[in-house]
Amino acid sequence: MNMFSLTNKTAIVTGATGGLGAAIARALAEAGAHVALAYIGTPPTEDLVKAVTTPHGIMPLILEADVSSEADCNTLVGDVEAATGKVDVLVNNAGVLHQAPLAEATLAMWERVLKVNLTGTFLMSKSVAPGMQTRAGGAIVNVASQLAFKGAIETSAYSASKGGVVALTRALARELGPTIRVNAIAPGPIHTPLNDPYADDEWIEQRTAGLVMRRLARPEEVAPGVVFLASEAAALMHGQTLHLNGGGVMA
């Protein structure tokens, strides 16, 4: 028996068109899952859709949703359940980053980051939980960050939002377990479109100085950790945060 297999599982990935989200969607599909690509703004590329199509020719569901909207979250989950009958795996990957010194950070910036990164994780988890409980099984994987544990200059809102994701992960694991497993990953700096606006030489040097591997990660190096947490191989993982950050945080 392949404990890492997600065959016959349905998975939702939010923020699925970003660098990490796309890599996660591909990895879940390679493990056998039928993937729903949730996005906002630019739709998935043809290459991504092709990569996430199952070997049996089942194409991914493609659904636009703003995870900071409760109505959008409920519609997204309802549409996936209507199309497939269930949601077995939720990956809360959607996120935004605004980097600015505290003196220049605005309330609107703070509220937007927390609304997407933290409130969006809460709303999507709340939406999928009833169905998972009815079917007596499911896995939620939240994407946090090493900055939840160590912080970084000019990232007050982002660091706070990801710290909240870690705490929410623990709370939901206690409340929803043992039926639903809730865990998180905490990546370090990754080559993704989210980071690209800030990733000049100075930024990269600052972010990699504390990493054992001394380089930015690639999205495809992070995605297998999500597959692990979504699979039966992680049956004993509840409320845990998997540190996929090249040694930036050791816990």
- Residue positions annotated with a catalytic role: 158
Residues 111 and 64: their CA atoms lie apart, in Å, by 22
Residues 208 and 102: their CA atoms lie apart, in Å, by 22
CA distances from 246 to 39, 144, 155, 211, 215 (A): 28, 15, 20, 6, 8
For residues 24 and 226, the answer to whether their CB atoms sit within 8 Å is: yes
Give the bridge partners for 140, in sequence order.
90, 182
My answer on whether omega of the bond before 197 falls inside 30° of 0, hence cis, is no
Residues 30 and 39: their CA atoms lie apart, in Å, by 20
For residues 143 and 92, the answer to whether their CB atoms sit within 8 Å is: yes
The string of DSSP letters for 23-75 reads HHHHHHHHTT-EEEEEESSSPPPHHHHHHHS-TT--PPEEEE--TT-HHHHHH
